[in-house]
């Protein structure tokens, strides 16, 4: 599809500096003549596949994944089509570079790596002017904003303005995995200061040099932000990403029934975990209502998963109180019990009525969970005692260390398989290589939110959904689990291979879209024919457009 002749297409060097329209060496002879490019490019005319080969050669020459991240960031800034062609050519290779785990290192060094701004930086000192700032964004039809406060980046803590790498990476995956056209996306950072002393003392830090504001001031500012988004981009869905736990819960509850929004750390993580559990139960052969879950980590992500598990168990006929009784939380103070003096409101429904337990292995022995789920960011938290205890009480223990990056994972795949004599049903939050044990090769799955948020985005985009609901996340989890084959299960894989991520996302998006239409949340007419075919027809494909 060509650009309409009425569209404003820059000429000459200006065109080469426009990442959305730039084709670099792929401009045709006709385009070079008409758009003032003759002499600004070598005479050779490439196609997109040739450009892909050249980019892969350059990537192969890099010696670290951080260098590859920097190269891909520059490519995104200069030739967006080629950038997505590279990502989609080999998702299993490139997704861990543009997102976890490499993005964690990139965020830590963001101010030192900074070359060209991307997205919007909204500082709290700009209160009262948010609509003006949003108008500075060149696109007027924004459908998705991923917004972070930078206070809880992955498992790395408060990175302030350095956290902008997360919205950038997330939205790249909206497109590369889910098919959302990139022109509708906007990465955004709310800069409310930072309490990270190292960053405040770093002369290369790019953010607001002050300590974080209080909750009331933050809430007032976010309220202004949400209202400004609704006014400037009325069809926009807001994804809250990597906020501090208390802020995440509070803001989600404030806005979830008022605007189209979701929190990926709470709801996306929950859906991914539910998808893993649903797949794992095909291996263990036991129903969801008979499971017992022990969470290591009792923050917003853990309780988000717990609440979605309760809802899924209720859908299978289990009373809510009984479902909650099958879930326990364990944090740095030990088991969360009803007599604990201080706890967050979102933890109370899962507080156990029993004596305190301060040792995780002892909690496993006493509570006898069928699954342990790690969201603690405590590297090595599932030690040998914990995993061997799980193996003693379960024939097929489910072990899910979901903390990332890899350095914060509660255990490795090799530890889980070797300490359970190959009986573990395993998935991690970061990628792990295949494990050889007892004459078998196990392929560890990665329970990454990338299985859900791009599919959610594509479904919302295709249907114009007015809200995002828990039912939609359960539908996405079911859609992901449905993509697991018996061969995958035989290899120990409970998530679809990343190499097939686009197909998985499209299927999950169609399941979510089905729920959107069924619940009357769509703003477009339901298409005739197969819903998945409709989703495919709406998805972005990286190819150059004719400019003349």
> Which run of H or E residues covers position 312?
helix 300-315
Q: Which tokens belong to 308? A: 């979605």
Q: Which tokens belong to 244? A: 């501090």
> Which run of H or E residues covers position 267?
none
Q: Could you say which DSSP state residue 153 is in?
A: B
Contact 97, 66 (CB under 8 A): no
Backbone conformation region of residue 25, classed left if phi is above 0, alpha if psi is from -120 to 50, else beta: alpha
Active site residue 333: no
- Which member of 69, 84, 170, 540 is catalytic? 170
Tell me how far apart the alpha carbons of residues 424 and 93 are, in angstroms, rounded to a whole number.
26
Active site residue 170: yes
Exposed, middle or buried: residue 232 (CB in 10 Å: 0-12, 13-18, 19+)? middle
Q: Could you say which DSSP state residue 421 is in?
A: T
Rg, C-alpha atoms of the chain? 24
Kindly give the pairing relationship between strand 425-428 and strand 398-401: parallel
**Residue 97 C-beta-side C-alpha neighbours within 13 Å:** 23
Instruction: Give, in degrees to the nearest 5, the angle at Cα 263 between 257 and 265.
Output: 150
Q: Which tokens belong to 181? A: 């056209």
The residue behind tokens 């998705």 is: 144
- Which member of 69, 99, 174, 346 is catalytic? 99
Q: Which tokens belong to 535? A: 């989703």
**Residue 428 C-beta-side C-alpha neighbours within 13 Å:** 27
- Detail the DSSP E strand segments found in 345-408: 371-374, 398-401
Exposed, middle or buried: residue 486 (CB in 10 Å: 0-12, 13-18, 19+)? exposed
Give catalytic residues, as residue numbers. 99, 170
């Amino acid at each position: 599809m060509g650009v309409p002749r009425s569209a404003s297409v820059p000429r000459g060097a200006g065109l080469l500096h426009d990442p959305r329209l730039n084709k670099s060496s792929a401009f045709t002879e006709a385009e070079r003549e008409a758009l003032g490019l003759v002499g600004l490019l070598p005479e050779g005319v490439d196609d997109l596949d040739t450009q892909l080969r050249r980019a892969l050669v350059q990537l192969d020459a890099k010696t670290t994944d951080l260098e590859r991240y920097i190269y891909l960031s520059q490519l995104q800034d200069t030739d967006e089509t080629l950038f997505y062609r590279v990502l989609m050519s080999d998702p299993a290779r490139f997704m861990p570079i543009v997102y976890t785990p490499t993005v964690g290192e990139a965020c830590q060094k963001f101010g030192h790596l900074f070359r060209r701004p991307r997205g919007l930086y909204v500082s709290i000192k700009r209160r009262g002017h948010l609509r003006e700032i949003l108008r500075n964004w060149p696109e007027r039809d924004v459908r998705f904003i991923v917004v972070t406060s930078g206070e809880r980046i992955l498992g790395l803590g408060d990175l302030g303005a350095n956290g902008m790498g997360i919205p950038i990476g997330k939205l790249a995956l909206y497109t590369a995995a889910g098919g959302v056209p990139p022109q509708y996306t906007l990465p955004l950072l709310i800069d409310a200061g930072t309490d990270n002393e190292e960053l405040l003392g770093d002369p290369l830090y790019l953010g607001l040099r002050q300590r974080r504001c209080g909750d009331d001031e933050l809430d007032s500012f976010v309220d202004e932000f949400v209202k400004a988004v609704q006014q400037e981009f009325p069809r926009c869905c807001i994804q809250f990403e990597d906020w501090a736990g208390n802020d995440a819960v509070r803001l989600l509850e404030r806005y979830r029934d008022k605007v189209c929004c979701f929190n990926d750390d709470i709801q996306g993580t929950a859906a991914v975990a539910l998808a893993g559990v649903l797949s794992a139960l095909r291996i263990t052969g036991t129903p969801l209502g008979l499971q017992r879950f022990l969470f290591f980590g009792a923050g917003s992500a853990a309780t988000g998963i717990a609440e979605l598990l309760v809802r899924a168990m209720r859908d299978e006929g289990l009373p809510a109180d009984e479902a909650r009784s099958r879930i326990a939380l364990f944090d740095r103070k030990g088991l969360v019990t009803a007599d604990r003096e201080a706890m967050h409101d979102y933890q109370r429904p899962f507080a156990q009525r029993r004596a305190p337990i301060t040792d995780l292995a002892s909690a496993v022995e006493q509570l006898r969970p069928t699954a342990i789920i790690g969201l603690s960011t405590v590297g090595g938290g599932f030690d040998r005692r914990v995993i061997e205890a799980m193996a003693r009480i379960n024939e097929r223990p489910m072990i899910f260390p979901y903390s990332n990056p890899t350095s914060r994972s509660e255990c490795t795949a090799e530890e889980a398989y070797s300490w359970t004599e190959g009986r573990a049903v395993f998935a991690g939050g970061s990628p792990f290589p295949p494990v050889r044990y007892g004459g078998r090769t196990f392929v560890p799955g990665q329970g990454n939110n990338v299985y859900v948020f791009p599919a959610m985005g594509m479904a919302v985009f295709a249907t114009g959904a007015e809200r995002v609901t828990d039912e939609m996340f359960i539908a996405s989890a079911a859609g992901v689990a449905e993509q697991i084959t018996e061969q995958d299960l035989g290899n120990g894989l409970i998530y679809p291979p990343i190499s097939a991520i686009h197909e998985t996302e499209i299927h999950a998006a169609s399941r979510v879209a089905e729920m959107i239409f069924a619940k009357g949340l769509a703003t477009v007419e339901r298409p005739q024919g197969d819903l998945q075919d409709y989703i495919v027809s709406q998805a972005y494909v990286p190819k150059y457009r004719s400019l003349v």
